[in-house]
Amino acid sequence: MPTDIFTAVGTNIQEKATMIWNVADLLRGPFKPHEYGLVILPMTVVKRFHDCLLPTHSAVLETYEKVKSLAVIDGFLRKASGYQFYNTSKFTFSSLLADPENIESNFRDYLNGFSSNVQDVLAKFDFENIIKRMVESNTLYLVIKEFASQKGYLGPEKISAVDCGYIFEDLVRRFSESFGEEAGAHFTSRDIIYLMTDLLLSGADMSRQENITVYDMTMGTSQMLSCMEERIHAVNPEMEVTCFGQEFNPSTFAIAKADMMIRGGNPDNMRFGDTLSEDKFSGYTFRYIISNPPFGIDWKREQKAVEKEAALGEDGRFAPGLPKISDGQQLFVLNGLKKLDQRGKMAIIQNGSPLFSGDAGSGPSEIRRYILENDWLSAIIQLSTDMFMNTGISTYIWVLDKNKPAERAGKVQLIDASRCFTPRRKSIGTKRNDIADSDRELIVRAYSSFTEGVFGDKGGVYCESKIFNTNEFGYSKIVVERPQRDENGEPILKKGKPTPDSSLRDTENVPLAEDIDEYFKREVLPYAPDAWIDRAKTKIGYEIPMTRYFYEYKKPEASEDILKRIVELENGIAESLKKLFGEG
């Protein structure tokens, strides 16, 4: 699904975001650099609301005068405004500037005129306290003046909903960067999102008219949801798409809800809370799920709630197992699987840990077992390093499908796309690489073809696909015992059976596809004829060692060539020293 949106979004959009962020020049002193976003983000949202409502402002005021005595007036005012929100204040940004002496009281009057759903957005920004600080520092009037200028205009006829999403995204990135260690926690760049959307929609029949539901369990500013909606409508503009999302960060949640209102969606589908401990969509199922949850972050805060839900078994989300407390990313996978409908498909970003961490029988291994034995894993795509602004490590897109096509049944496709990227001219944090249109098309072609092989030029940009049977990732961990012996070297027996010597105890991982007894005869008994298997201790484990599957042996340089290079270096050094001391 080609697009030039990522590359052509427009320098204009970035320039608009830069101009808005430059309001920070007015805040230096009263606000610290990492606090600039506390002013700029909510003011951008308020100004976007303002500019969207401006053409119908008079109509809303007239309607309000007619219906203000009625018990329920929201419907009338929304119809008059043309949006899911409205404002009944007489003020606009222009009229606010006309009365600088009363800027605080008038601005508060303006904000209080917004509908309750906008009030909820502003409350999540803690905007009341920010206004107080601007008043105390005499910056409120100046900030409003900047946003009221032509460069601060955010009306829909100039800035589309998609473009406004980019602006919000860019501002959040700048705000995140100013926090250092928190940088990028809420930011997934569009190149990665478009790859995820295209993987999800690969092979989908978009010709049928139906309501498609999309859910993001860690939605940030909801840009993954808007990208999915955009991609679906690019294929079928008539398709009805309903987006749902949950977010725990108040500021990014506020932006997501504001963005949904402006786009004409249902803002009630954007819900605030911790997905792991406060599931706001219990009982819901969705056709598509797209998420980039935090990885490498502990779940101590949610531990009590998660363990309580895990005890519910199949009635909860976490029955298969719990990961180690230091890393909760697999909990989000389980949440997603619980919420996929019977035709559902999910794309979720993980780091390397969920591929292999945890021994047989551990929580992480049991989660992998649950996924693989239910045959829900369609593919895993390894991305290049340096793809995210806050981490340079390798990341992976897991594609899970509850309705795998027949040719994928019992199979898992692994794609190494670590060399399928385009270097950025200028890095953003640790993001030095992009997935350009051509890169994305190559990866999606490898996925959709469902064949083994190299796609692209192995001397340059390429990805490699390999296909495995599901059970190839499983193994039986057997415990091998050997007997204690007495002084004469004879086995010590108890009730006629040899007593195991714990110091000689060993384990073996036997592939599930292989017979345990045959393996034992071949690999153990020739070296320990007195050994036996304690079958009561056998455990099933699963791991997906992608690095091993794609490892390519590189023949080391011949010793003669190494010696030749060393001699050349030594001769060169000797010659340089001779010249140096000779000249001295």
- The gap from C-alpha 487 to its chain's centroid, in whole angstroms, comes to 62
Burial of 67: CB neighbours in 10 Å, binned 0-12, 13-18, 19+: middle
pLDDT digits (tens, 9 = 90+) for 379-391: 999 999 998 877 8
Do 230 and 193 contact (CB within 8 A), yes or no? Answer: no
**391-426 confidence digits (pLDDT tens):** 888 899 999 999 999 999 999 999 999 999 999 888
pLDDT digits (tens, 9 = 90+) for 287-322: 999 999 988 889 999 999 999 999 999 999 999 999
Is the confidence at residue 429, as pLDDT, over 80?
no
Longest dimension (CA), the chain: 106
At residue 1, the pLDDT reads 47
- Name the pLDDT band for 576 (thresholds 50, 70, 90): confident
Token pair, residue 487, equals 């002084």
CB count within 10 Å of CB 577 equals: 10
Measured CA to CA, the distance from residue 236 to residue 52 in angstroms comes to 27
For 353-380, write each residue's pLDDT tens digit. 999 999 999 999 999 999 999 999 999 9
What letter would DSSP give residue 476?
E
Radius of gyration over alpha carbons of the chain, in Å? Answer: 30
How far apart are the C-alpha atoms of 172 and 162, rounded to whole Å?
15
At 583, the pLDDT band (50, 70, 90 cuts) reads: low
Angle at the Cα of 266 (from 291 to 209), degrees rounded to 5?
80
pLDDT digit string (tens) for 220-234? 889 899 999 999 999
Task: Determine the residue type at 528.
Answer: A
Q: Identify each DSSP E strand in 513-584 by its residue range.
A: 532-533, 539-542
What are the contacts of 418-426 at 24+ separation with CB within 8 A?
A: 418/382, 418/383, 418/384, 418/385, 418/394, 419/384, 419/461, 419/462, 419/463, 420/384, 420/456, 420/461, 420/462, 420/463, 421/383, 421/384, 421/387, 421/461, 422/461
The share of the chain scoring above pLDDT 70, in percent, equals: 96
